[in-house]
């Protein structure tokens, strides 16, 4: 079907498209809503890159939402129906824009808690630095018992609307992280149990404040022979390339550099990432693989390898360590797998956000609302799907210390 699409690495045009989509979302007639609901169902079936994977509830989604589509007579109600239909994919890359007033916080952008299922226990594996959750004293290793007054297992099951999803580890992970992130404009209340077995109630504010430097790029020397450059959630801004160049020039003489990608939950643009990666290679090198299944028809696919081109006045040739964690999202995940695949860096930290593929945005023609979902699969150069790749030096977050950073510094000191 492939309605006119816009690839995400074009931020200026994307903003124009979103503004246009918002302005066009005025034809909310019953005929238009029904037509666009049908169109969305068909688009996902035909163009979603991971549609064949288990765990989604797309079969029968149009019938389940038929009454709500017919009742959604306001702009906000219509957007919320579309959001909740896309939720049936259990994919953090599937969303609409602009969203409804009560939209879920995007994961990982709006998340400050990361957890995994250990049997029926929801155990916190990471807490975002500088977040409301960290300020409230929530720590990795603690267990979430309830969301509001509902046991976490029951609350999670209620988010999954088919048997395939309730039996799928990926869908259960989506539901757990979605519940922990909550909805915009709404406080989050949890019951937490610590390692000693003590229970406490924690309420987190609705605004999801995260403390971070005001600059796009931070740079500093850790020792005479070590430096660190950190990207502060700015891979979507082209100006970041020039600021990174300036930061690298300040520390070009150090033999060991740490590139900290642990605060890029919002992903970014390929043009920015390639600009940064190009400073670490002196020859053109392959860094990730792409695949579009169902390319024009079901038995045709498109595959290619993307390369990094050297750029800038000099190439940094020193030892390079990359830090990652669950707030290393999307394009930042691509940078990490690329530097690993090019054998240009050692990647240290905990598993990344695990966002699957590259997205396209489409405008639903009748109501003018834009939607996005992955249409392209991405892989490490060795063939591992990007969203399943794990750092070679895996270090869990620790309470009271930056264990990944300390490991990175030790690796820089090693011969």
> For each of the chain's 415 residues, which pLDDT tens digit applies?
333 333 333 343 344 344 444 444 568 999 999 999 999 999 999 999 999 888 899 999 999 999 999 999 999 999 999 999 999 999 999 988 776 666 889 999 999 999 999 999 999 999 999 999 999 999 999 999 999 999 999 999 999 999 899 999 999 999 999 999 999 889 999 999 998 999 999 999 998 899 989 899 999 999 999 999 999 999 999 999 999 999 999 999 999 999 999 999 998 999 999 999 999 999 999 999 999 998 988 889 999 999 999 999 999 999 999 999 999 999 999 999 999 999 999 999 999 999 999 999 999 999 999 999 999 999 999 999 999 999 999 998 776 789 999 999 999 999 8
- Distance between CA atoms of 390 and 305, rounded to whole angstroms? 20
* DSSP assignments along 45-87, one per residue: HHH-TTTTSTT---TTHHHHTHHHHHH--SHHHHHHHHHHHHH
Helix (H) or strand (E) holding 11: helix 11-24
In 279-401, where do the E strands start and end? 285-292, 302-308, 319-324, 346-349, 358-363, 370-379, 393-394
pLDDT score recorded for residue 97: 79
- Distance between CA atoms of 324 and 396, rounded to whole angstroms? 11
Place of tokens 């979902």: 373
Do residues 191 and 236 both lie within one domain?
no
pLDDT score recorded for residue 102: 65
Residue 208 to residues 72, 172, 393, 400: CA-CA distances in angstroms? 29, 23, 30, 22
pLDDT score recorded for residue 6: 36
Angle at 374 between CA 72 and CA 39, to 5 degrees: 40
CATH number at residue 286: 3.90.226.10
Q: Tell whether 333 is covered by a domain.
A: yes
Tell me if 237 sits within 8 A of 273, measured CB to CB.
no
Do residues 200 and 319 both lie within one domain?
no
Do residues 251 and 154 both lie within one domain?
no
Do residues 137 and 267 both lie within one domain?
no
pLDDT score recorded for residue 25: 52
pLDDT score recorded for residue 296: 85
Task: Identify the three-state secondary structure at position 200.
Answer: strand
Whose CA is closest to 286, among 329, 241, 328, 343? 343
Q: Which of 165, 181, 204 is the last residue of a domain?
A: 204
Q: Which of 144, 176, 204 is the last residue of a domain?
A: 204
Q: Tell whether 248 is covered by a domain.
A: yes
Which structural domain, as residue segments, surrounds residue 182? Answer: 113-204
For the chain, the straight-line distance linking the first and the last C-alpha, in angstroms and rounded, comes to: 55
- Distance between CA atoms of 383 and 284, rounded to whole angstroms? 19
Do residues 277 and 302 both lie within one domain?
yes
CA 91 to chain centre: 10
Q: Tell whether 51 is covered by a domain.
A: no
Tell me if 385 sits within 8 A of 351, measured CB to CB.
no
Ramachandran region, residue 164 (left: φ > 0; alpha: ψ -120 to 50; beta: rest): alpha
Q: Tell whether 76 is covered by a domain.
A: no
Whose CA is closest to 228, among 239, 213, 207? 213
Tell me if 263 sits within 8 A of 232, measured CB to CB.
yes
CATH number at residue 169: 2.30.42.10
**What does DSSP assign to residue 388?**
G
pLDDT score recorded for residue 8: 38
Whose CA is closest to 235, among 210, 200, 259, 203? 259
**237: number of Cβ within 10 Å:** 14
- Distance between CA atoms of 26 and 343, rounded to whole angstroms? 51
- Distance between CA atoms of 136 and 203, rounded to whole angstroms? 8
Do residues 306 and 255 both lie within one domain?
yes
What own/partner pairs with CB < 8 Å and gap ≥ 24 does 248-253 have? Answer: 248/219, 248/279, 248/312, 248/316, 250/219, 251/219, 251/221, 251/227, 252/314, 252/316
Do residues 246 and 225 both lie within one domain?
yes
pLDDT score recorded for residue 100: 66
Q: Tell whether 121 is covered by a domain.
A: yes
Do residues 267 and 397 both lie within one domain?
yes
Do residues 253 and 290 both lie within one domain?
yes
Do residues 323 and 254 both lie within one domain?
yes
Q: Tell whether 225 is covered by a domain.
A: yes
Do residues 192 and 334 both lie within one domain?
no
Do residues 172 and 294 both lie within one domain?
no
Total structural domains in the chain?
Answer: 2
| Full-model pTM | 0.90
Whose CA is closest to 217, among 203, 201, 238, 188? 238
Q: Tell whether 315 is covered by a domain.
A: yes
pLDDT score recorded for residue 415: 85
Angle at 108 between CA 105 and CA 112, to 5 degrees: 80
Q: Tell whether 98 is covered by a domain.
A: no
Residues in the chain: 415
Tell me if 410 sits within 8 A of 346, measured CB to CB.
no
């Amino acid at each position: 079907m492939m309605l006119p699409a816009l690839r995400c690495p074009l931020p200026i045009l994307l903003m124009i498209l979103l503004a246009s989509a918002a302005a066009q979302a005025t034809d909310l007639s019953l005929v238009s809503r029904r037509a666009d609901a049908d169109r969305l169902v068909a688009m996902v079936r035909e163009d979603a890159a991971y549609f064949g994977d288990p765990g989604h509830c797309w079969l029968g989604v149009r019938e389940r939402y038929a009454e709500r589509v017919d009742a959604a007579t306001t702009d906000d109600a219509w957007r919320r129906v579309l959001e909740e239909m896309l939720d049936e994919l259990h994919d953090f890359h599937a969303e609409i824009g602009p969203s409804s007033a009560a939209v879920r916080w995007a994961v990982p952008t709006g998340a400050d808690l990361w957890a995994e299922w250990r049997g029926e226990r929801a155990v916190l594996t990471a807490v975002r630095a500088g977040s409301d959750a960290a300020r409230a004293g929530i720590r990795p290793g603690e267990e979430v018992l309830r969301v509001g007054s509902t046991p976490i297992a029951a609350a999670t099951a209620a988010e999954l609307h088919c048997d395939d999803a309730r039996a799928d580890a990926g869908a259960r992970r989506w539901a757990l992280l979605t519940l922990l992130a909550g909805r915009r404009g709404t406080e989050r209340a949890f019951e937490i149990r610590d390692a000693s077995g003590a229970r406490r109630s924690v309420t987190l504010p609705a605004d999801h404040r995260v403390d971070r430097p005001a600059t796009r790029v931070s740079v500093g020397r850790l020792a005479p022979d070590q430096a660190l450059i950190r990207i502060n959630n700015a891979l979507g801004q082209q100006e970041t390339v020039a600021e990174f160049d300036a930061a690298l020039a300040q520390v070009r003489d150090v033999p060991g550099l740490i590139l900290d990608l642990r605060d890029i939950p919002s992903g970014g643009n390929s043009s920015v990432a390639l600009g940064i990666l190009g400073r670490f290679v002196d020859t053109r090198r392959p860094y990730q693989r792409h695949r579009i299944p169902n390319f024009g028809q079901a038995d045709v696919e498109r595959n290619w390898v993307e390369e990094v081109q050297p750029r800038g006045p000099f190439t940094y040739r020193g030892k390079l360590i990359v830090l990652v964690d669950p707030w290393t999202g999307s394009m930042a995940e691509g940078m990490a797998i690329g530097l690993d695949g090019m054998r240009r860096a050692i990647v240290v930290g905990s598993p990344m956000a695990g966002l699957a593929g590259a997205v396209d945005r489409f405008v639903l023609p009748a109501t003018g609302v834009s939607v996005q979902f992955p249409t392209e699969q991405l892989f490490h150069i060795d063939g591992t799907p990007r969203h399943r790749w794990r750092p070679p030096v895996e270090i869990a977050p620790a309470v009271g210390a930056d264990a990944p950073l300390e490991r990175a510094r030790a690796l820089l000191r090693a011969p």
